[in-house]
Structure 1
């Protein structure tokens, strides 16, 4: 899952980045309200964690702005403003949930799971394509009921491809899922991850679309098995 954290408290943000990345998430971080609007409207995120007290543009205005533009991305407000009027303003502006600081990280993770489940319209967020099953909540992958152990990067790639089976995922989109805006990755890193992922689930399942990107073949997935 790709998450955007909008938080101007750098110490808190660094703590949250470390904890959220433990669960197969890619996290991008912004500490400015106007930049947050630009990012949320121009990029693709699965979730936004939004502080209210931000430079240049207040968090509530960020929220109202992106909702006016029709952006449906789930947004959880994280703020020290704890009075009921502020909470109602946030929810009325289009927030999916509201947490006051200080908060326990375990509760935030539970709220994230609940919000993303609601956004997908189902209680179980597991993805199934043929004989492949991916459980994002527990970071598990199964092929024909056998557990497949993946690295974080391999899991992220497969997660995205399984959300869009039989659709071409561009290199840029997959790299964003892996690294966010971090351009420190080697140019061939994606190919290396794809190579290892194919070894684990079977080469035919992930097709290369030359010059564009990669695609998960649902037909191949329907009869894929663990090779002995």
Structure 2
């Protein structure tokens, strides 16, 4: 599952990236508001959640948040800020933040808030990921096929989730890599094929269909 961290404090940013990657998330980290806007503007950016600082260079977090909600970008947003007055919290929540956490905070609390927001996001009808007898639990990062639980790696799950979100679309190698890997991750030329092989082995050979020369899509599942 891919998260976007927007935080200009070097120490806080590095701590969060390390902790969240240890939890199995892919984390992209940007340190100013303009770069954050560019990251969110990428079609099918695939972010499950944005951790957004308020006070940022170039564009403030509240500006970014207002624009996201005006454009109906409904990615969950956890606001991270040193602004702790009641009025600040009201402004952040009214702008469209899904949760608000005041600095300094503990990493355990950030993790718990993220899990809570992801559970709420996945619970929305539009976010349900099911296709035939295949069901994904994006919070537990677990797949079930015909009621049988199947353990997938973090990246196998991310690839399968990307395909299930657009079940009739063919996704190219570059589209899948963008959904699976963070910015700083070195990607080998056959990484997508390797992950697909693992998914097919654990679920069924027909789970992912190869459209030669174009990409992959989810197969027919009964």
TM-score (norm 2): 0.87
Residues 144, 20 of structure 1: alpha-carbon distance in 2 compared, 3 angstrom cutoff: same
SS at match of 2:50: strand
Segment of structure 1 superposing worse, 86-95 or 98-107: 98-107
Shift of 1:30: 0.2
Residues 212, 181 of structure 1: alpha-carbon distance in 2 compared, 3 angstrom cutoff: farther
Deviations 1:84-104 (A, max 9, x none): 111111112221211111223
TM-score (norm 1): 0.85
Return the alpha-carbon distance in structure 2 between the equivalents of residues 160 and 7 of structure 1: 26
Return the alpha-carbon distance in structure 1 between the equivalents of residues 132 and 201 of structure 2: 18
SS at match of 1:204: coil
Match in the other structure for 1:21: 21
Root-mean-square deviation (CA), in Å? 2.2
Residues 145, 23 of structure 1: alpha-carbon distance in 2 compared, 3 angstrom cutoff: farther
Return the alpha-carbon distance in structure 1 between the equivalents of residues 153 and 167 of structure 2: 21
Question: Is contact 1:75–1:96 with CA below 8 Å preserved after alignment?
Answer: yes
Structure 2: 5+ residue stretches without partners = none
Match in the other structure for 1:225: none
Deviations 1:36-95 (A, max 9, x none): 122212352221110112112222222223333443222110111111111111112221
Question: Is contact 2:122–2:128 with CA below 8 Å preserved after alignment?
Answer: no
How many pairs are equivalent? 219
Match in the other structure for 1:91: 93
Structure 1: 5+ residue stretches without partners = 223-228
Question: Is contact 1:24–1:139 with CA below 8 Å preserved after alignment?
Answer: no
Question: Is contact 1:41–1:66 with CA below 8 Å preserved after alignment?
Answer: no
